[in-house]
Amino acid sequence: MRLLFQALSIAKKDLAIELRTKESLNAAGAFAVVILLLFSFAFDPDANATRELGGGLLWLVFAFAGALVFNRGFARELPNECLDALLSSALSGASLLLGKALANLAMLIAVEFVSMIVFGIFYNVRWWLRPLELTGVCVLATWGISVVGAVFGALTVNLRLRELMLPVIVYPLLIPLLIAAIEITNALFANQPLSAYELLWGRVLLVFDIVFTALAMALAETILVN
């Protein structure tokens, strides 16, 4: 309970700072919208083939936009040595990572929502037909991306080339999660009932989230102090 309370305090603090500075949201949101617009010019948005690629396009955009969010997550703690103040306090490492992942989740979901609107307009895709399932996929997949982003954001925070290193490390790890999210999202955009095939990918998403959340919490102290 204490762990969750501390994690929520971290997330609340990060979101309060973000709402004032809008550093991550502006960068990630603008990036996502620009990429979607550019692709809409490059391909014929009315073609069925383009719409079938919609899930893949969206999740790649979310993953790239996520890197912009994660880079700021721990970098926000560097001025005034705030990270030292946190790590020397009673805050547990697991709470810190969990809080960062929660803040990442909230910011990425906001970016995803804006991107979905742009996507619907420019690609003529009615993404709102299966809102519950789509929300479920977005939350599950985004949580996985957020946890991995928080862990590697912590690991790369003191690197000079962290903006470059973070995506290089994170994307290969996200491959199973992205495939799962893309498969399910494509089925939802086609307004098909989810088959056993998509449900299997749903389980992959769930397992990915559980495994990486557990790993992040178990290794938090080692990651943060070393």
Partner 1 sequence: MPRAIELDQLWKFYGDYPALRNLTLSVAEGSCCALLGRNGAGKTTLLRIIAGLSPFQRGTVRVFGLSPRNENARRQAGFLGHGIGVYEDLSAEENLDFFARIAGLPSPRTIASTWLDRVGLARVASMPVRQFSRGMRQRLALARTFLHSPNILLLDEPFTALDDRAIAMLSELLIEARARGATLLISTHQIREALAISSHVALIENGRLRYAGERTPEMLDDPALLYRLHTELGAA
Judged by CB under 8 A, the residue of 37, 38, 52, 84 near partner 1 is: 84
Which of the ranges 40-48, 66-74, 81-89, 117-125 carries the binding residues for partner 1, by CB under 8 A? 81-89
The residue within the footprint of partner 1, chosen from 24, 37, 47, 87 (CB under 8 A), is 87
Q: Which is nearer to partner 1, 178 or 224 (CB)?
A: 224
CA 29 vs. chain centroid, Å, equals: 12
Helices (H), 22-130: 23-42, 48-52, 54-75, 82-87, 93-123
Separation CA 163–CA 100 (nearest Å) = 17
The residue (of 84 and 163) whose beta carbon lies closer to partner 1 is 84
Q: Which of residues 7-46 bind partner 1 (CB under 8 A)?
A: 9-10, 13, 16-17, 20-21
54-75 helix and 93-123 helix, angle to the nearest 10 degrees:
140
Buried b (16+ CB within 10 A) or exposed e, 55-65: bbbbbbbbbeb
Answer for which of 4, 85, 210, 211 binds partner 1 (CB under 8 A) is 85
Using CB under 8 A as the binding rule, whether residue 219 contacts partner 1 is answered as no
Q: Which is nearer to partner 1, 86 or 105 (CB)?
A: 86
Q: Which stretch binds partner 1 (CB under 8 A): 27-35, 61-69, 80-88, 141-149?
A: 80-88
Contact code string over 96-115 relative to partner 1, x by CB under 8 A: --------------------
Residues in region 60-79 near partner 1 by CB under 8 A? 76, 79
For residue 217, give every residue at least 6 positions away whose Cβ sits within 8 Å of its Cβ, in sequence order, or none. 94, 97, 98
Binder of partner 1 out of 41, 46, 48, 80 (CB under 8 A):
80
Reduced to 3 states (helix: H, G, I; strand: E, B; else coil), residue 138 is helix
92 binds partner 1 (CB under 8 A): yes
Instruction: Give the shortest CB-172-to-partner 1 separation in angstroms.
Output: 28
Check if the beta carbon of residue 127 is closer than 8 Å to that of residue 134: yes
What contacts 53, CB < 8 A, 6 or more positions away? 43
The answer to whether 195 and 134 have CB atoms below 8 angstroms apart is no
Judged by CB under 8 A, does residue 221 bind partner 1? Answer: yes
Q: Which H or E run contains 133?
A: helix 131-156
Contacts to partner 1 by CB under 8 A: 2, 5-6, 9-10, 13, 16-17, 20-21, 76, 79-82, 84-92, 95, 221, 225-226
